[in-house]
Chains A and B, each alone.
Chain A
């Protein structure tokens, strides 16, 4: 029989969430093996939009706003560190971000949301509600249909693909082992060790971190945890490269470092279908063209669908197993924004350090409701 490959920690899932945790653990000196299912998995890390985003997040859950604020503040140093290690430019820019609103009702609703978020927080939460003239001053290409925008100076964007590549490279350079095409068949907890069987091999470690996105639903119960996450499909359109004009990322449209316009933000509950539909793509394109009429004649070169990983309340689950000490589940919607937190404070907690204060309430028990 094959002897198990041994390490300090097994990370399951090679998306941005798993890679961030694995990188953080390896950076702290652990021997880490990362098992990644393969290209037939639902790859949220390959399909997402790439915002580093604060505004609008955490209503009713100020801890999530705090966690997000910490992440946004940590991003510049995190990106610089990854670039220094790997030479990959992540195209991070945090010039402030806008949510374009097409009528006054939408604008005041959005402004009210950010006021509520600010009021529930005991920290700085800067934002501004901009009228149409002010938006046009900042982005002259804004169309007449735009009533205004809500702007947060903390928002920005990054290339999610460059981030992922950089994390993989940095993980390798720290001695981390990435096993691709490795779908988990069984997880056993014996004698204080976790033994994972996958692709005809065995992997053993003292700790295991489940960061498998939608796959966590099946994996978490194997180590006494729960991850009741559901897919939420988003569709994205990508244009040909055009001259840079959009200096600020917006919630629905951003221009990448290569000049490509990425257009998105639809939400559909369609199970595990990650395809695209003409109806949604048309809606997304029409809204973008109303915001920026000059997009009218620009060619779309690619479209895709991807599945967000959503918990019932939209907030993360970070939990250590009491049944199987050493097992952790990590799942969230905002793997890009939160990457520095996952590589830093979260990895520190998994290594035995203090649990970061903002995440203490992100346990799966919050979804248990009294039945009578």
Chain B
């Protein structure tokens, strides 16, 4: 469904964890791009109806691509660049508080 445009200069590889699985991205990719390249479509479920949501605008406006990054919930995946060793998790329902609850 999604394919990166050919012809872009190769960039260094970045390795991150997506739901405990190691995936590869390129430096400068956003988390949203890395996850979509890895086959993810729905990133979260809405807090009230539980409907599936994925990236829509990819420019920081729609807040539909929220994921958990290194334990911090409700991070906009389209607005944060990947980093080596980053741990990304899908979100189910409303955010939890750090450290439980």
Contacts and interface: CB of A to CB of B under 8 A. Distances in A.
B2 interface: no
Contacts of B101: 141, 243, 245, 294
A104 to B, nearest CB: 28
Given A141-B101, A258-B47, A243 B96 contact: yes
Contacts of A297: 72, 97-98
Contact of A241 (B72, B95, B97, B98): B95
Interface string A116-132: 00000000000000000
A240 B97 contact: no
Nearest to B75: A299
Interface string B60-101: 000000000000101000000000000000000111111001
B48 interface: yes
Contacts of B93: 243
Contacts of A298: 95, 97
Contact of B94 (A259, A294, A299): A259
Contact of A243 (B48, B72, B97, B98): B97
Chain B interface SS verdict (over half): loop
A297 B74 CA distance: 10
Contacts, number: 34
A242 interface: yes
Nearest to A245: B101
Given A141-B101, A294-B101, A297-B72, A242 B48 contact: no
A243 B94 CA distance: 5
B62 to A, nearest CB: 13
Contact of B47 (A245, A259, A294, A299): A259
A294 B72 CA distance: 13
A294 B98 CA distance: 8
B91 to A, nearest CB: 11
Residue in B93, B96, B97 with the greatest tally of chain A CB atoms within 10 Å: B97
A240 B74 contact: yes
Contacts of B97: 242-243, 245, 294, 297-298
Given A141-B101, A245-B101, A294-B101, A240 B48 contact: no
Contacts of B96: 242-243
B71 to A, nearest CB: 10
Interface in A294-310: 294, 297-299
Contacts of A294: 97-98, 101
A298 B94 CA distance: 12
A299 B74 contact: yes
A258 B94 CA distance: 9
B65 to A, nearest CB: 14
A156 B93 CA distance: 26
A245 B100 CA distance: 12
A297 B101 CA distance: 13
A245 B95 CA distance: 12
A298 B74 CA distance: 9
Nearest to A141: B101
A299 B95 CA distance: 10
Nearest to A292: B97
B90 to A, nearest CB: 16
Contacts of A244: 94
Given A259-B48, A259-B94, 19 more contacts: A141-B101, A240-B74, A241-B47, A241-B48, A241-B95, A242-B94, A242-B95, A242-B96, A243-B93, A243-B97, A244-B94, A258-B47, A258-B48, A294-B97, A294-B98, A297-B97, A297-B98, A298-B97, A299-B74
Interface of A: 141, 240-245, 258-259, 294, 297-299
- Which 4 A-B residue pairs are closest in the complex by CB-CB distance? A241-B47, A294-B97, A241-B94, A259-B94
15 contacts: A141-B101, A240-B95, A241-B47, A241-B48, A241-B95, A242-B94, A242-B95, A243-B95, A243-B96, A243-B97, A245-B97, A245-B101, A259-B48, A294-B101, A297-B97
Interface of B: 47-48, 72, 74, 93-98, 101
